[in-house]
């Protein structure tokens, strides 16, 4: 059930892109009992959750025996009823990425952008990058806003955006080095986030992910139109910067 102004898919995607930690539920090796643990999370460009976890952790041992898992991401913080915030439970199967591959390097880079403190242990031999291959999701976003979401709806279609994605690292680095004032305007004026030292942690055809350098706040700026190339990205970012300055 939803009203005309509420998009379950948009709400779930926002949680995926902005919540930096969540509860990972796996099945205990041997007994099969449910086991929940706290993990830090990032995403691939399509929204697939990315984890950096140790072989020594129980949830990793569980995933090796049975890859079925669920990840709960909740919008928390502030005062009041903790159940009043939106949350999404994403189900699927965990898959370990082979080290020293292009897939691993790309996922690892996006994770470390969201969690720079992890750089100190990311290279340890027992740590590996895993992805949760999504089978579906369950969103709870308030009264009458409880929705099952198919994986094909939750994840972003990346067709036709190869050039943009190939240039993503350079585009993000450029924004973080030369356009921090624009990033701050995107976050505070267009997303309604608090003041801070804002950076970009990633981008994709649908939007740009933002975070304060201390990791205290995250935001997601959705583009008015889908972008597929670096040229289209520059155009939409300039327009959004003008709009933010005019509204500031």
Q: Are residues 169 and 132 in the same domain?
A: no
Q: Are residues 78 and 101 in the same domain?
A: yes
pLDDT < 70 positions in the chain: 1-4, 77-79
Q: Are residues 92 and 200 in the same domain?
A: no
Residue 83 counted as domain residue: yes
Q: Supply the pLDDT for residue 179.
A: 96
Q: Supply the pLDDT for residue 4.
A: 61
Q: Are residues 14 and 99 in the same domain?
A: yes
Residue 3 counted as domain residue: no
Residue 107 counted as domain residue: yes
The total of structural domains in the chain comes to 2
Domain that holds residue 30: 8-154
State if pTM tops 0.85. yes
Q: DSSP letters along the chain, please?
A: ---TT--HHHHHHHHHHH--EEEEEEE-TTT--EEEEEEE-EE-TT--EEEEEETTSHHHHHHHH--EEEEEEE---SSS-GGGS-EEEEEEEEEEPPTTSHHHHHHHHHHHHH-GGGHHHHTSTTEEEEEEEEEEEEEE-STT-EEEEEHHHHSPP-TT-HHHHHTHHHHHHHHHHH-HHHHHHIIIIIS-PPSS-EEEEEE-SSEEEEEETTSS-EEEEE-SS---SHHHHHHHHHHHHHHHHHH-
pLDDT digits (tens, 9 = 90+) for 189-225: 999 999 999 999 999 999 999 999 999 999 999 999 9
């Amino acid at each position: 059930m939803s009203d005309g102004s509420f998009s379950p898919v948009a709400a779930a995607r926002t949680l995926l892109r902005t919540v930096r930690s969540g509860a990972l539920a796996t099945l205990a090796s041997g007994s099969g009992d449910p086991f929940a643990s706290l993990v830090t999370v990032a995403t691939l460009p399509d929204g697939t959750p990315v984890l950096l976890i140790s072989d020594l952790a129980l949830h990793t041992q569980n995933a090796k025996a049975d890859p079925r898992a669920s990840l709960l991401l909740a919008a928390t913080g502030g005062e009041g009823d903790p159940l009043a915030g939106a949350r999404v439970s994403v189900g699927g199967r965990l898959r370990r990425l082979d080290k020293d591959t292009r897939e691993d390097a790309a996922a690892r880079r996006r994770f470390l952008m969201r969690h720079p403190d992890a750089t100190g242990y990311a290279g340890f031999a027992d740590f590996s990058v895993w992805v949760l291959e999504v089978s579906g999701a369950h969103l709870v976003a308030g009264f009458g806003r409880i929705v099952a979401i198919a994986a094909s709806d939750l994840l972003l279609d990346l067709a036709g955006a190869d050039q943009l994605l190939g240039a993503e690292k350079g585009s993000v680095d450029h924004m973080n080095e030369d356009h921090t004032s624009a990033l701050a305007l995107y976050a505070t004026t267009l997303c309604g986030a608090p003041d801070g030292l804002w950076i970009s942690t990633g981008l994709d055809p649908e939007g740009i992910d933002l975070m304060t350098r201390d990791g205290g706040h995250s935001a997601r700026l959705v583009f008015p139109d889908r972008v597929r190339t670096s040229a289209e990205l520059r155009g939409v970012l300039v327009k959004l910067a003008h709009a933010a300055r005019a509204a500031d």
